[in-house]
Amino acid sequence: ATVLPKMVSGEWMGTMNLTEPHAGSDLGVLKTRAERRDDGTYRILGQKIFITWGEHDFTDNIVHLVLARLPDAPAGTKGISLFLVPKFLVNEDGSLGERNDVFCHSLEHKLGIHGSPTCTMIYGDGKFGREKGAIGYLVGEENRGLACMFTMMNNARLAVGMQGVAIAEAATQKAIAYAKERTQGRAPGWSGDGMSPIIEHPDIARTLLTMKALTQGSRAIAYACAHAVDMAHAAQGEDARQWQERSSLLTPIAKSFATDAGVDVASMGIQVHGGMGFIEETGAARYLRDARIAPIYEGTNGIQAIDLVTRKLPLSDGAQVRGFIAELREVAAAVAASNREGFGETAARLDAAVADLEGATDWLLSRLRDGKLAEALSGATAYQRLFGLVLTGVYLAKGGLAEAGDGGQDRRVALCRFAAENLLSETSALKDRVVNGAASLAAARSILD
C-alpha cells in the first residue's frame, strides 16, 4: 500500500538487484547478506553490479528489489530471500524520510543503451553516517525469494522480447525508407530514368522482406505468450493450468527469438544502408548497439534454451509441447484447405517445418528420459531457434488466413508465403544440428584447450 501505487503511477521507479560480480547466470552463489532485526526489518549488506536504473534523479525515490541470503539460509537457490530496499526510507504518513544505506558506486560504460544508467550498487557501507546496513523489508517468505523474483522475471523476459521486436520494427522502417530513396545501379527490369532505387534490387528486397518477416514473427510470438499469460489469469481450474503451461513454454522462445531477431534485423538494416549504415548520423548503427544487450540480460538466450529444453519440454510429461505442435499442424492444414493461390507452397513448407520441430522435440525428450543431458543441451540453442522459426511461419500464416482475401493485394499472405518459401527451409538444418550435432561437439571440445 505504501510503495506499489507510487510505482504504478510512475512517481517512484524500481530496480531488480540480482547480479553480483561472481553470480550472474548462477544466482545460487550470491553473497549479499541480510540480517534480521528485532523490529521485523532486515539489514542488507553487499554489492550488486549491472543494475539498470540503479541511480538517477528522474523520480524522488527508487525502490530496489534485492536478492540476499540470511545467515542460516540453506546453500544454493533455496536459500535466497527477496527484500524491498527504498533509496529513501518512507515515513508513516508516506513522506520521504532518511537516506537509506545504499548508493551507486559507479556507472558502466557500455556498447549501447546509453540512455539507461547501469549501476554498481553498494548496500551497507555506512556512507550516510548511520549504523551499517540498508534497511530492507522482506517480500514473500524467507528463502522463497527466487520464486518471488521469477514472478517479475517472467514478465520481464517477455518485456525484453518486446524490446527486440521494437528495435527490429524501427530498423525495418528506417531501412525501407532509405531503400526507397537511395538510387544506385539499374535493377533488372528497371525502366525508369537513370539509376533505380535500391529497393528494386532483388537482394535488397529480399533483405527487407526477411527483416519484416522476422519482426512480425517475433511480435506474434510475444503476443501469443502475452495472450497465454492473460488466459492463465482469466481461466479456471484445468484450463488455467493449461494456459499457465503454455505461457511457460512460450516465454523462453518469446525472449530469445525476438531478441536475436532484434540483433539480426538491426544488422541487416545497416547492410541495406551500405556505408551510411556504419556512419552514426543515419541512426541505423545505434539500433544494433542498443539491440545487442537484449539477448544477454534477463537470462542469456543460452540460459533460455536450457530452460526451454530441460524445464518446459517435460511439462505434463511432454503433453504440453505435443499438444501445441498438434495445434501448429492444424494451421498448415487450414492454409491447404483455404485453396488461396497467394499462399503458394506455404502449406507444404509449414508441414515440413512442423515435422522438423516434432522430430527434434521427440529426440530431445528421449535424451532427457535417458539421462543424456549433455547431448540434449548441445542442441538447445538450435532447438530454440527452430521453435521460433516454426512459430514465425505458423503465426504469419494465421495472419494471412485472417486477411479478407477480397481481391485486393493480400499483404499478409504475401509475407507469409515469402517466409515459408525463403526462411523455413532453415528448420531442417536446425533439426539436424539438434539431433546430430552433439557427438562432433564433444569430440572437438578439447581443441579449445
Ligand X SMILES: Cc1cc2nc3c(=O)[nH]c(=O)nc-3n(C[C@H](O)[C@H](O)[C@H](O)COP(=O)(O)OP(=O)(O)OC[C@H]3O[C@@H](n4cnc5c(N)ncnc54)[C@H](O)[C@@H]3O)c2cc1C
Kind and range of the H or E element at 360? helix 346-369
Place of cell 532505387: 197
Total residues belonging to the chain:
449
Q: What is the DSSP letter of 292?
A: T
CB of 331 vs ligand X, minimal distance in Å: 32
Which residues inside 115-154 make contact with ligand X, applying CB under 6 A?
118
- Residues contacting residue 106 through CB under 8 Å, at least 6 positions apart: 119, 120
Neighbouring CB atoms inside 10 A of 284's CB total 25
Q: Does 47 bind ligand X (CB under 6 A)?
A: no
Give 27 or 240: the residue with its C-beta nearer to ligand X. 27
Residue at 57: amino acid letter: D
Which residue lies nearer to ligand X by CB, 51 or 168? 51
CB of 35 to ligand X, least distance (A): 21
Q: Does position 289 bind ligand X by CB under 6 A?
A: no
Least separation in angstroms between residue 139's CB and ligand X is 15
Task: Identify the burial level of 51 via C-beta atoms within 10 angstroms of its C-beta, where 0-12 means exposed, 13-18 middle and 19 or more buried.
Answer: buried
Q: Which stretch binds ligand X (CB under 6 A): 95-103, 220-228, 297-305, 358-366?
A: 297-305
Using the contact rule CB under 6 A, the part of the chain among 88-96, 294-302, 319-327, 399-407 near ligand X is 294-302
Of 39-47, 300-308, 363-371, 433-441, the segment contacting ligand X by CB under 6 A is 300-308
Neighbours of 151 (CB within 10 A): 12
Closest CB to ligand X among 24 and 217? Answer: 24
What's the CA gap between 164 and 300, in Å, rounded? 14
CB of 271 to ligand X, least distance (A): 25
Verify whether residue 98 is a known catalytic residue.
no
State how far the Cα of 200 lies from the Cα of 332, in Å rounded to an integer: 31
430 binds ligand X (CB under 6 A): no
CB of 374 to ligand X, least distance (A): 11
Out of 302, 323, 342, 399, the only residue in the binding site for ligand X (CB under 6 A) is 302
Of 44-52, 83-91, 159-167, 240-248: span binding ligand X (CB under 6 A) = 44-52
Pairing mode, if any, of strands 62-68 and 81-86? antiparallel
Site map for ligand X, 82-111, x if CB under 6 A? ----------------------------x-
CA distance 148 to 151: 5
Asked if 297 touches ligand X (CB under 6 A), the answer is: yes
Q: Is 275 helix (H, G, I), strand (E, B) or coil?
A: helix
Of 90-98, 251-259, 296-304, 361-369, the window that binds ligand X (rule: CB under 6 A) is 296-304
Residues 50-69 that bind ligand X (CB under 6 A): 50-52
Q: How far is the CB of 266 from ligand X (least distance, A)?
A: 16
373 within 8 A of 381, measured Cβ to Cβ: no
Q: CB pairs under 8 A, 24+ apart, for 325-333? A: 325/354, 325/357, 325/358, 325/361, 328/354, 328/357, 328/390, 328/391, 328/394, 329/354, 331/394, 331/397, 331/398, 331/401, 332/394, 332/397
Residue in 55, 298, 358, 375 annotated catalytic: 298
Alpha-carbon span 125 to 123, nearest angstrom: 6
User: Under rule CB under 6 A, how many of the chain's residues touch ligand X?
Assistant: 20
Q: Do residues 420 and 354 touch, judged by C-beta distance below 8 A?
A: no
The three three-digit cell numbers of residue 13, written as one number: 521507479
Query: Per rule CB under 6 A, is residue 296 in the interface with ligand X?
Result: yes
- Measured from the CB atom, is 155 or 183 closer to ligand X? 155
Stretch of 9-17, 73-81, 94-102, 427-435 contacting ligand X, by CB under 6 A: 9-17
Q: Write the interaction track for ligand X spanning residues 15-34; mark x where CB under 6 A is met and - where it is not.
A: xxxxx----xx---------
List, by residue number, the catalytic residues: 298
Residues interacting with ligand X, by CB under 6 A?
15-19, 24-25, 50-52, 110, 118, 293, 296-297, 299-300, 302-303, 306
